[in-house]
Amino acid sequence: MTAEKLAPAAPQTPQDRMKEIVALCKRRGFIFGASDIYGGINGFWDYGPLGVELKNNLRDLWWKSMVLTPPIGPDGEPVEIVGLDSAIIQNPKVWVASGHVGGFSDPMVDCKETKLRYRADHIMVYPVPEVLEDQEPHLAFVSGTAPEDIHKRMDKYWGKINGQTSKEYYSLENPLSLEKIVLTEYTKILGPDAKKPGSLTEPRAFNLLFETKIGAVASDDNIAYLRGETAQGIFINFKNVVDSSRVRVPFGIAQVGKAFRNEVNPRNFIFRSREFEQMEMEWFCDPNDKKITPQMWFDFWKVQRQKFWEALGLSGDNILMREHGQDELVFYSKGTFDIEYKFPFTDPGFGELEGIAYRTDYDLTQHQEHSKVKMEYIDPMDPKNKFIPHVIEPAAGLTRGVLALLCEAYTVDPSRPSGVYLNFHPAIAPKKAAILPLTAKDQHPVLATKLYLELREEFAVDLDIKQNIGKRYARQDEIGTPFCFTIDDQTVADGTVTVRERNTMAQERIPMDKVAEYLRTKIKRVI
């Protein structure tokens, strides 16, 4: 079979590209819709054999970069960060103190016609052209709708103007956000999925915390919440960590784990889900320190976090740092930056991957007030210096990071049988190498199994014996395995194997007893 016959056509649009990534994730066992066999459940995902390896690799590299080998600080000293794994369900007072019970809400808009619910800030409205006004509705869309779908709907409702289609007479550059539109105008807006205008309700607050009940009695007194972020588990353990270990301010506490938000519009694959994982670190520092001020730590962590994602292969044009405007900042924050990634569904725009926030002493002060436990830290070098530490918080999405890595790695190459390959950095790749006996007979599988047993002690490797070699290479390309080692007759004769490099498909022979060393140098430390 020729390569041309097997290779799919190159994706034409970012939307097609995204569809192909989702299909590959399912086909090759990275990510499945949760409860697939029961028709699924919106906003929840299962990570398959390769997805869990990929996610664990990202988690482990983050943990290494934070807890095991954290960076050297602005003063030339290694910084100190310790780990934590707090409970998902805590005393509900935690979420009252943090403000999540009262305020962790998005303004929501309901559609009276379709019964669908949307986040108000996700609805964009394209005003009807002036010549048609009063005869036709303004059209509302959920942000992220493909331009061709927008134009299709415009043509349906507004029709041609002076013989031109909407693509010719209407620029999609500046939609209005729904929040900027006065309520009296709502009657003229046609909701994203509605057939008649005027079906959208006024925006209303909707709390995102998932509720559950603790114990056998299902009364309102037993309400508890699944954590909406991992960060609060860190704040409420600040004193425990200081009192039980030798850490001294400035230091950090890091945590990776599940978080739950009853998102109204879970979408874009795993980008916005209702159950997801976060990697958060709270950096506690002295607000009175004149040598390294909190602002300097803030700048430091911004640089470190961007370096982290870049080291994993998120490339220059696809990643940026965006400062929040004053109107986006919560009142206690002295600044927030988002590291954003150009996902196919945000293209040409960007979507948040990680937020780095200077949160002042807000969280610890809130917990001090609500719990009545003092959160003050006493400087051991100067007992007169008592303070509630200021916090810099780099908060990243683990599952969202997995999506960014998948999108970045997805590379179309019609010249190879698979038509695509995943260009993962070897440190991130779920499988570091595949061992492929050329045939399933003679000494080939015996030697391949020997090499596999040796390598698996140190690396995540695949032994794949069946099918023709081209199909096996194709499978490894699609799952992003950086190296394939082939065992053939020459291996039996002289003890060498073929190494095939994923991206270049170049092949060379190396001694079988040097394979482990070869892999070790190729998968060298990235962080």
Binding residues for ligand GAP, rule: CB under 6 A, are 229, 231, 261, 263, 272-273, 276, 278, 280, 352-355, 393, 395-397, 399-400
229 vs 462, beta carbon nearer ligand GAP = 229
Given the structure tokens 């100190």, which residue do they identify? 80
Give the separation between CA 73 and CA 70, rounded to whole angstroms.
Answer: 9
Give the separation between CA 474 and CA 205, rounded to whole angstroms.
Answer: 49
The two three-digit tokens of residue 270, written as one number: 């795993």
The two three-digit tokens of residue 364, written as one number: 């610890």
Tell the smallest beta-carbon distance from residue 399 to ligand GAP (Å).
5
Tell the smallest beta-carbon distance from residue 341 to ligand GAP (Å).
9
Tell the smallest beta-carbon distance from residue 269 to ligand GAP (Å).
10
44 vs 300, beta carbon nearer ligand GAP = 44
**Residue 33: CB atoms within 10 Å:** 16
199 vs 278, beta carbon nearer ligand GAP = 278
Give the separation between CA 376 and CA 374, rounded to whole angstroms.
Answer: 6
Amino acid found at 100: H
320 vs 446, beta carbon nearer ligand GAP = 320
Tell the smallest beta-carbon distance from residue 401 to ligand GAP (Å).
7
Tell the smallest beta-carbon distance from residue 177 to ligand GAP (Å).
19
E strands, 91-170, are 105-110, 117-119, 123-126, 138-142
231 vs 422, beta carbon nearer ligand GAP = 231
β pairing state of 335-341 and 386-387:
unpaired
Which residues lie across from 205 on neighbouring strands? Answer: 107
Tell the smallest beta-carbon distance from residue 280 to ligand GAP (Å).
6
Compute the half-sphere exposure of residue 497: CA atoms within 13 Å on the CB side of its CA: 27
DSSP letter (8 states) at residue 327: G
Give the separation between CA 520 and CA 518, rounded to whole angstroms.
Answer: 5
53 vs 354, beta carbon nearer ligand GAP = 354
343 vs 410, beta carbon nearer ligand GAP = 343
Give the separation between CA 276 and CA 318, rounded to whole angstroms.
Answer: 23
Report the C-alpha dihedral over residues 366, 371, 373, 375, rounded to 10 degrees.
-20
Among 169, 201, 161, 177, which residue's Cα sits nearest to residue 126?
177
The two three-digit tokens of residue 454, written as one number: 């040796």
3 vs 142, beta carbon nearer ligand GAP = 142
Give the separation between CA 190 and CA 198, rounded to whole angstroms.
Answer: 6
Closest residue to ligand GAP: CB criterion = 397
Amino acid found at 251: F
Amino acid found at 115: K
170 vs 271, beta carbon nearer ligand GAP = 271
Tell the smallest beta-carbon distance from residue 231 to ligand GAP (Å).
4
Tell the smallest beta-carbon distance from residue 415 to ligand GAP (Å).
35
Tell the smallest beta-carbon distance from residue 230 to ligand GAP (Å).
7
Tell the smallest beta-carbon distance from residue 358 to ligand GAP (Å).
12
Give the separation between CA 11 and CA 395, rounded to whole angstroms.
Answer: 33
186 vs 297, beta carbon nearer ligand GAP = 297
